[in-house]
Every structure is written in structure tokens, then in C-alpha cells.
Amino acid sequence: MQQPVILTCAVTGGDDTAGRFPAVPVTPQQIAVAAIEACKAGAAIAHIHVRDPQTGKPSMATELYREVVERIRDSGSPVIINLTTGPGARFVPSNVETNRAEPSSNLRPPAERVQHILELKPEICSLDMGSLNFGKGALINVPAHVEIIAAAIREAGVKPELEVFDSGHIALSVDMIRRGLLDPKPLFQMVTGVPWGAPANSEVLAAMKSLLPVGSPWAAFGVGRSQFPMVAQAFLLGGHIRVGLEDNLYIAKGELAPDNASLVRKAATIIDLLGSRLATPAEARDLLGLPQQ
């Protein structure tokens, strides 16, 4: 029988969506509850950003991450906690001034981007493996900064989830594994459907899979309307999956999702119809080489 499929639920994300979509969790309590409920619906992993409770805007505050993590741990939920290190990379250049970043930029040094990982030691954390044109600017992840963050993740004893938005990001990952800067079998997360990144289709996903180190666990997801088609595509190619309000706000065409758990349940139905099932958190820990709770 095929091994069960690990589902990650990305419960809130770092885009400015909270004020327009009430289902997006904002406060640490809401984010923790969303992760716990997603786990009850079938998610093994919760991928977590935090937001300013007053404004709903994305935040990098360690105390907010701490409250979310403590609430999940205190609840007794078996969900695997996956904290992001993505914030702090956004650069929007001025159109008229030399070397000027617009106020919507949030560039931070690598040490600041990974401080909450060192303090809270989640089981998994994400690591963006390259730069990408994004909206009106770019997400800047130069190799030197990626290496600094990767070193801190290893120091914390946390498993990296390598977020790759294009084939060159996989090439950098493979090179860092070869040089001993990343663990031999990190979890790869292939991001598709982001404008100007890898398109969300089976040909691109198959090509990206072919570049991965043999035996590395991997997952993939699609953004927006491609979320559920990519659940099926990733499964059919032997990968794990991800859904959540970070990536997609709709449960069906024209119908907003009421919560993260509903997206998880729909993905579980797709996997069931294709002849498999979602992994429990304990099974996911075994598959990823993580210690059991």
C-alpha cells in the first residue's frame, strides 16, 4: 500500500489579507486554534506566520510566535509546528531615487529573521531558497543570507523545510547539501502558481521533482485557484501536499472558505478518492525522521 500523505496547513500567511477576509486568523489565540482545528481535520503539520493583533498586518515579533507555540503545545495537540523564516525579505525599490527602499519593504538581517527559531525550537521551520519577483517588488534571499539562516536552523536542531519557487532554488539547495550546509534529507516544499515563479502545472512539477536529491521527502502546493488541482498533481507524482488560507481563500469557485479546516477536509477527500489517506502527525514524524512527542 502507498505510504500515507503528509498534509501541511498554512493557516494565515504573511500577505495583507486579514482586513478583507474575516476567516484569516489574526491573534495568537486564533492562529493556534486554526492550527489545532486543521490537525483535527487531518493536517499533520501547521505552517505558521504571525500578525499584529491590533492591525492584522504581518509581524515578526517573537513574543507573538511564542504565544502561538505555547498555546498549541499546552493544548496537547499532536500537530507538528512549522514556523516561517520568510518575513524580512521583501524589497520594493523606489522608481525615482537611487538605492531607496519604499516603506512597504521590510528587509531584515538574517539573524533577525531566524531569532524566533533559536528561541522556540519548533520541529520544522521554512527556509526560502532564493529570490523572486513578487508584487511590486521582490523577495530577496541571496545565497549568503540563506547560508546564515540555514546555519542557525541547524544550531537550533530544527528540520528545515526548503521552500523552492523555481528550479534554480533547487540547484542552490543541492549545492548546499553537497557542501554540508544543509542536512542530507531536508523536506523540500515546491511552491507553484506564484506570479513569475514556477507555473502550477504537471510538466513543471515533474521537472522540478526530477532535480531533487534521490530519496528526499518533498511536497508541493499551488496558489489560488491551483490549490486543489496541485493537491492531486503532487500526490500522483509521489509527493506530500499543502493547503490553507495563506495560499488560497476559496473552498470552491466563488465561495470563500469558512476556515482552514474546511480546506484540509476537501484535500483529504481528494486524496481518499485517489486511493490513499492523510498521514497522522505520528506517521509524519516517522516519515520525516522527527522524534515522537
Domain residue ranges in the chain:
7-288
160 within 8 A of 186, measured Cβ to Cβ: yes
pLDDT digit of tens for each residue in the chain (293 aa)?
578 999 999 999 988 888 889 999 999 999 999 999 999 999 999 999 999 999 999 999 999 999 999 999 999 999 999 999 999 999 999 999 999 999 999 999 999 999 999 999 999 999 999 999 998 899 999 999 999 999 999 999 999 999 999 999 999 999 999 999 998 999 999 999 999 999 999 999 999 999 999 999 999 999 999 999 999 999 999 999 999 999 999 999 999 999 999 999 999 999 999 999 999 999 999 999 999 98
The distance from CA 280 to its chain's CA centroid, rounded to whole angstroms, is: 18
Q: Is the domain 7-288 a CATH 3.40.50.1100 member?
A: no
pLDDT at residue 278, rounded to an integer: 98
pLDDT at residue 18, rounded to an integer: 82
Q: Around Cβ 116, how many Cβ atoms within 10 Å? A: 25
**Measured CA angle at 130 (ends 126, 134), to 5 deg:** 95
Residue 130's nearest CA partner among 179, 200, 199, 189 is 189
Residue 241's nearest CA partner among 12, 34, 44, 1 is 44
pLDDT per residue as tens digits for the range 213-245: 999 999 999 999 999 999 999 999 999 999 999
Which residues, 6 or more positions from 259, have their beta carbon under 8 angstroms from its beta carbon?
A: 23, 34, 37, 245
What's this model's pTM, rounded to 2 decimal places? 0.96
pLDDT at residue 293, rounded to an integer: 80
Of all helices (H) and strands (E), which one includes residue 245? Answer: none
pLDDT at residue 101, rounded to an integer: 94
